A and B are shown apart, each in its own frame.
Chain A
Amino acid sequence: MILLEALMFYVFAATMIGSSLAILLSRDIVRSAVWLLGTLGAAAGLYFLLAANFLAAVQLIVYAGGVLVLIVFGVMLTGRQAGAMPLARGSEIAIAAVVALILCAGLLVVALRGPWIELPGPAPAPVAAEMRTIGSELLTSYLVPFEVASVLLLAVMIGAAYLARPEKR
């Protein structure tokens, strides 16, 4: 079973990296969205391997819906003819490069210099958190972030509804 788990980890990790690269490299926005589905699905697979079932299922639900909407936008915004992809200007490329470099440097620093805690002995078997625990923690210890996120989403929803409303004469 250990072997199978390791194998599955490598499969999911490879899928994740491969489809992340493909998102960047493909020219068609719909294809990018489909590759995104691969990345997010592989992430969900990794969560399943860690016995974080709830997180994995929520990841699949939320992001499958997200990808759906993304594809819809892709279909509505792009035509089928070649070369419809908007090309980035030089200044935009420069800004993107700077941001990417800073992000990359930050991640490298965290990965190389961060204090990784080594657990004594073999890794413990992952234990699935009880759904009940997650629910009550969300509504007690983490109530403030939970509510802030809800209010933010509500604001977004009201804004979207306002923008989509037909103008009254």
Chain B
Amino acid sequence: MSEYYLPWPERRRPEFRGAAKLAATAARVLYQASAPIVRRFPGAIFTTAVVFSCLLAWLVALSLRAAWLVQQQAADDGAPWPNRWFSVEELRAAAAIANVGWPAWLLWALQSEFVRDVIGVVGVLAFVSLLAMFAIWWERKVSAFMQSRLGPMRVGGWHGWSQSLADGIKLIAKEDLIPDGADRALFRLAPYLAFVPALAAFMALPFGVYWVFRDLDVALLFILAMMGIEVVGVLIAGWASNNKWSVYGAMREACQMVGYEIPMGMSLLVPVMIAGSLRLNEIAQLQAGGWANWLAFHSPWAFIAMLSYFVASLASCKRAPFDLPEAESELVAGFHTEYSGFRWALFFFAEYAAMFVVSGLLTVLFLGAWDAPWSGLAPAAWLSPDAPLAQQLIAGVFFSGPLWFVAKCLFLIYVQMWLRWTLPRLRIDQVLYSCVQVMLPLIMLVLLASTFWELAVSASPAFGAVASVIQAILAILGAIIAIGILYVAAAGFRARRALVGDLAVERPLRGG
């Protein structure tokens, strides 16, 4: 037994055979070769990877758009569209007319809408996987700093950056256990029923004006529907496990979700009413021009609606203080107690994907979508997709683009983590009480008040002036709150060494 207590380098290595031995050797060699470099330049490598993947995404998006443009140009020359396969020469001619400088063979390969969709789906999958891996590592670090610990420090060198990768390999290699008395078919189905809707929600979630897989006119409803189906997966997982803890967790999730869906939907109605549309892109366009135009500061009611949506979204993602379905201290692990290996990992992927989706909705509906707070300063011509690439790049990085959307979403995810590791868990009766007797009446009142507010603004110019003064005050208040939150977060991060204590930092663990 004592060998299990040895530090990593002194432990006897497990024996592999055949292909597994080859793979294990390759992984070890790769790890040993890369670890010193990664430890030496962690920041530079991370920055390079992020910049490189952003540029790659941009390149793919530009190619897809170029293919679409050239196809339309080629179709303008009299051929019926879209049921036609263009030859390379035709596309080259059309590209010359449309002034698109992409190689003709690439346009030829991308002319099928199906191929373009497949590329989009692969992009979404890659994004969600990377996001989940990053967010899980990040959550462990955040929780550790908040509890005066270090979190993952060993795997990969710098702050355990590849802990999620190692966990992923471990989970894939783990045995896929199914309990004896379980409902086998449903037990196998449930993780997919949780993960696939969370992924499908990304289909309608716009990352930028043109960065959306399908610009649905009912995007908001579609995303809400997907979040609703995800809960069915959790419920089935709990039931099929044939374990009392799991059923308790699943039933709590069902109660919580049936309750909180109502305040959630009603608080989302406030921005929908202001914009008069369910198309997320249209609601985002309404907020163009910077901080003061964001819907959160549109009226006091919109501000309250944003806060109540945030609370309801915590409940819908099972995040603390609403994490009763998992409740480690009472239900072992709640609905996924019996799961192991890859199926268990799918639940976590679903959870982090859902966290991003609800944050994305909040960002698009209330927080100016993909605009920087100062996006009004950007020249309008730079934001157009026909502007020169250099202008587009500058506008995309500094004023308005998917980067800002992702940054805002990551900040909201960070706030969710922050709440998780600082707030105690509610009891189920408290959860339902706060939903039905506090949030529901409040949000009904807000909805009604917001309706009259909008009517009054459009009916009377005098009230319109008052409303814009209130909007300005709210925007200033919001700026103060945001700066305050950022300052507190930064101060906590700066003081983390004082919080963690000198010992662990000064003398890292052996083999780290």
Q: Tell me the A residues contacting B by CB distance below 8 Å.
A: 1-2, 4, 28, 30-31, 34, 37, 41, 53-54, 56-58, 60-61, 64-65, 67-69, 71-72, 75, 80, 128, 130-132
Contact = CB atoms under 8 A, between A and B. Distances in A.
Contacts of B217: 53-54, 128, 130-131
A53 B225 CA distance: 12
The majority secondary structure among interface residues of chain A is: helix
Interface string B226-242: 10110110011001001
B4 to A, nearest CB: 38
Q: Which of under 10, 10 to 19, 20 to 34, or 35 or more describes the interface residues of B?
A: 35 or more
A57 B222 contact: yes
Nearest to B278: A131
The 8 closest A-B pairs by CB, nearest first: A60-B225, A57-B221, A64-B228, A61-B225, A57-B218, A53-B218, A64-B229, A57-B222
B218 A71 contact: no
Interface stretch (B253-261, B287-295, B383-391, B394-402): B253-261
Contact of A4 (B114, B232, B242): B114
Contacts of A71: 232, 235-236, 239, 254
A1 B83 contact: yes
B277 interface: yes
A156 B114 CA distance: 47
B411 to A, nearest CB: 28
Nearest to B190: A34
Contacts of B186: 30-31, 34
B78 interface: no
A58 B221 contact: yes
B239 A64 contact: no
A3 to B, nearest CB: 10
B218 A67 contact: no
B183 interface: yes
A6 B336 CA distance: 39
Contact of B216 (A1, A37, A53): A53
A95 to B, nearest CB: 31
Given A37-B232, A68-B257, A131-B277, A30 B83 contact: no
Given A31-B186, A71-B254, A132-B276, A60 B229 contact: yes
B253 to A, nearest CB: 9
A68 B231 contact: yes
Contact of B228 (A30, A54, A68): A68
B424 interface: no
B443 interface: no
Contacts of B226: 60
Contacts of A75: 239, 247, 250-251
A68 B232 contact: yes
22 contacts: A1-B113, A2-B83, A4-B114, A28-B183, A30-B239, A34-B236, A41-B229, A53-B216, A57-B221, A57-B222, A61-B224, A61-B228, A64-B225, A64-B228, A67-B232, A68-B235, A69-B258, A71-B232, A71-B236, A71-B239, A75-B239, A131-B218
A39 to B, nearest CB: 14
B221 A31 contact: no
Most chain A CB atoms below 10 A, which of B82, B114, B222, B224: B222
B261 A65 contact: yes
Contacts of A72: 235, 251, 254
B441 to A, nearest CB: 14
B344 to A, nearest CB: 20
B232 A54 contact: no
A129 to B, nearest CB: 9
Given A57-B225, A68-B257, 15 more contacts: A4-B114, A30-B186, A34-B186, A34-B232, A37-B232, A57-B218, A57-B224, A68-B231, A68-B254, A68-B258, A71-B235, A75-B251, A80-B181, A131-B277, A131-B279
A60 B257 CA distance: 15
A64 B114 CA distance: 29
B189 interface: yes
Contacts of A34: 186, 189, 232, 236
A31 B186 CA distance: 8
A31 B239 CA distance: 10
A54 B221 contact: yes
A124 to B, nearest CB: 16
Contacts of A30: 183, 186, 236, 239
A71 B277 CA distance: 33
A130 B251 CA distance: 38
A57 B278 CA distance: 12
Nearest to B236: A34
A30 B236 CA distance: 8
A58 B220 CA distance: 11
A60 B276 contact: no
A2 B242 CA distance: 45
Contacts of B82: 1
Contacts of A54: 217-218, 221
B24 to A, nearest CB: 40
A64 B232 contact: yes
Contacts of A69: 254, 258
B337 to A, nearest CB: 16
A57 B139 CA distance: 33
